[in-house]
Amino acid sequence: MGSSNYNPKEIEPKWQKYWEEHETFKTDVWDFSKPKYYVLDMFPYPSGVGLHAGHPEGYTATDIVSRMKRMQGYNVLHPMGYDSFGLPAEQYAVTTGNHPNGFTEKNIETFTGQLRELGFDYDWSKMVKTSDPSFYHWTQWIFKEMYKDGYAKYVDMPVNWCEELGTVLSNDEVIDGKSERGGYPVVRKNMKQWVIDQQAFAEQLLEGLDEIDWPQSTKEIQKNWIGRSEGVEVDFKIVGGGEFSIYTTCIETIYGITFMVLAPDGETVKTLMDRIENKEEVQAYINETLKKTDMDRTELNKTKSGCPLKGIYAINPVNGKEVPVFIGDFVLGGYGTGAVMAVPSHDQRDFEYAQVHGLDYIQVIDGADTSEHAFEKGDYLGKGCKLINSEEFTGLTVEEAKEAITDKLVNMGVARRTVNYRFREWIFARQRYWGEPMPIVYLEDGSIHVLDDDELPLELPVLEDYKGKNGKAPLDNATEWKQYDHNGVKGVRETSTMPGSAGSSWYYFRYIDPDNKDEFANQELLKHWMPVDLYVGGPEHAVGHLMYSRIWNKYLYSKGLSPVKEPFKKLVHQGMILGSNGIKMGKRFPEFVVNPSDIVYEYGADTLRLYEMFMGALEASKPWSQQGVEGARRFINKVWNYFSNPDNIVEENDDKLTRLYHQTVRKVTHDFETLGFNTAIAQMMIFMNSATHEKCPKEFAEGFIKMFSCVCPHAGEELWSMFGHTESIAKESWPVFDEALCKEDVIEIGVQVNGKVRGTVGLTEEDDQDSALAKAKEVESVAKFIDGKNIVKVIFVKGKILNIIAK
């Protein structure tokens, strides 16, 4: 042993090589003798840029937990893979004419090298890549099963079409009317689309939120995205023939309808065109609407645009009254019934619309003046408000009227009680090349044929040109591949590919059994390893990947192919690491972007790991600080220089560090379990501050190094070997603490009430003002002087005084 500063350039590659050669982190998934712990990171897209400073934050967090769990006797599965279908590879192929797989594999190599140099304890033998045919074989198989069971459908629907990208985009890929990637214009058009019926899983998805340990904010986002509501669907006849339906959660306001609004792109308007008196005006409005995305027409819609359908009137079934009909772009043809009832006195949007178009107002709920603005349900529900101007229902409370009016309409045969959902079908096809080919064939008679199991995987063909032509998918260029002729069945293959979210919807199963050629994973293994115990990733996936994964798992659970109702038991979102300017790192301020490899080169991987864990709470966003990096390096040197000097280590224990050591083990264990890494590291620093003034018993030194090695594994391994050990520290057992030895000395101090001593209380170094006050209140002689009084002030000086001012 010698004492000189930690040298990462020598030590870190040495241990990375050791772990690889000894397969230190390879998991025997068939070892059921130990309790299991499955910890998972959201796998990255392997971009050409490689890792950015934010990646190692979540990855280090899961690495620390998995290292601790392994030491605690768990059989730990901590895999890593790549969400390797993606648009950048496609754009590379279009630009260069080269197959995207070469580009992707090169990026995977770069990414893997960067992850290895950070010392993560991944079991690389379990790596999956969504673009590998042996993986997407099973993505295709699951999709095929969903189609056979009626959950995957081929339907005609309005979609977001991006001409520049040559593909359909989901709503969450469109921002302000432009594509999220590239910022290209997006228009609405009707197309035949493959979709997954999300709504079929809505109730299960909502129920499942109560069973999982997820951030409340993410649960709320999912709940709102699903958007469950209970209401009534009502049929309205059109004067002169025809009808449409509306869905409402405010049936109590039906007598207040003064007009109706239809979706400009809906079927009803098409059937009425020959009866509309202002056809040209209506057609022009429809054409403008089709240029807008759903988002532009709903959430981003601040205008009250609309167009009357002159000569068209609807009949209110509750009183036979005729009301004018409009079209408005805020009503969507592909959502709900494509029509809404308008009650200006009780809906602010309708109120403003009626103002712009000079329409009537009828107030039907008493309790507020509706001349200036609407009296909405948020203001009248549950307040005992009563109906007015509502025939036989006048005088009933809103809650009574809801039931009574619904009963009347249901009995008339013109209404149905209905549950509605805000979220819609998940569009499951993209007009791109670099994605999973659909296992679908269109036969000559127009029917759909799915490939047999023995035809999977259906692999992507190599193309000469990867750009789609005339709004068609790139796979349309594969003239031979497209033609299907198998066992006498002839047809044309589907040329769209699956969306980027397909593979990530089930990849957590495949890690458990990545080489299985007979099924997506062995059922016995799934029963043992699922669910994922800890899942760490960004909050931006709340309504994308995290919803889709739950849907695929729900489907597989219903088939008896997933053993669990929910795939991810505990979910944690890491915060964003900002530039030192306090702004998100990115192209806008390139001088503030931090490349992890630069930090590793200059300071070592252990420094980067320690610094990112010490920056602040895992979930918080925090700015980068170069001084913080240097501080982390100094702390590693402090640990290194102290423990690598044999003069500091002793066999016997003089008890000077006993209490602090046990407190440190207790706190680090607790904080690692709860992902409070910054406070765990702070406790290690407290221990080191005291240890450096004393000799350290070998037992404490080894226990400390085990905990330290979870954050700084390279330095930890090297120190461990200096202590004469020949096996990796990763397989050692976790240090234990004795609660009795954690207790601080109790000091008796006097408790004053209004300046007079009324009793004594025993306090420790750990007690703060709140706990001291709580203990004082339990002292009978003190309690009788403060009972029934208001405590206005507390003066507390540790170890000296506790004075309670009570009036």
Count other Cβ atoms within 10 Å, centred on residue 596: 23
Instruction: Return the DSSP state at 464.
Output: S
Percent of the chain clearing pLDDT 90 (strictly above): 78
The span from the CA of 99 to the CA of 434, in Å, is 9
CA 525 to each of CA 130, 140, 258: distance values in angstroms, whole numbers, following the listed order: 21, 22, 62
The span from the CA of 174 to the CA of 295, in Å, is 8
Is residue 275 scored above 80 in pLDDT?
yes
Look-up: residue for tokens 């199963």? 509
Is residue 172 scored above 80 in pLDDT?
no
Q: What is the mean pLDDT of residues 555-577?
A: 97
Paired sense of beta strands 622-623 and 577-578, if any? parallel
The span from the CA of 639 to the CA of 708, in Å, is 9
pLDDT, one tens digit per residue, over 61-70 is 999 999 999 9
- This prediction's pTM: 0.85
In this predicted model, which residue has the larger pLDDT, 330 or 244? 244
Q: How confident is the model at residue 530 (pLDDT cuts 50, 70, 90)?
A: very high
Is residue 3 scored above 70 in pLDDT?
no
Look-up: residue for tokens 């590998």? 132
Predicted local distance difference test score (pLDDT) of residue 162: 86
Predicted local distance difference test score (pLDDT) of residue 2: 46
Predicted local distance difference test score (pLDDT) of residue 100: 94
Q: What is the mean pLDDT of residues 553-582?
A: 96
The enclosing H or E element of 53 equals: none
Predicted local distance difference test score (pLDDT) of residue 291: 75
Is residue 300 scored above 80 in pLDDT?
no
pLDDT, one tens digit per residue, over 101-127 is 999 999 999 999 999 999 999 999 999
Tell me the backbone φ, ψ of residue 511, rounded to 5 degrees: -55, -30
Q: What is the phi-psi region of residue 759: left when phi exceeds 0, alpha when psi lies from -120 to 50, beta otherwise?
A: left
Q: What is the mean pLDDT of residues 31-58?
A: 91
User: Which among 592, 536, 532, 530 is positioned nearest to 561, based on CA atoms?
Assistant: 530
Q: What is the mean pLDDT of residues 678-683?
A: 97
pLDDT, one tens digit per residue, over 698-720 is 999 999 999 999 999 999 999 99
Q: How confident is the model at residue 1 (pLDDT cuts 50, 70, 90)?
A: very low
Look-up: residue for tokens 């709903």? 298
Predicted local distance difference test score (pLDDT) of residue 800: 87
Q: Specify which of 17-31, 189-203, 299-313, 585-599 reaches the highest per-range mean pLDDT.
A: 17-31
pLDDT, one tens digit per residue, over 181-198 is 889 988 877 778 899 999
Average model confidence (pLDDT) across the chain: 93
pLDDT, one tens digit per residue, over 414-461 is 999 999 998 888 989 988 999 999 999 999 999 999 999 999 999 999
In this predicted model, which residue has the larger pLDDT, 544 or 315? 315
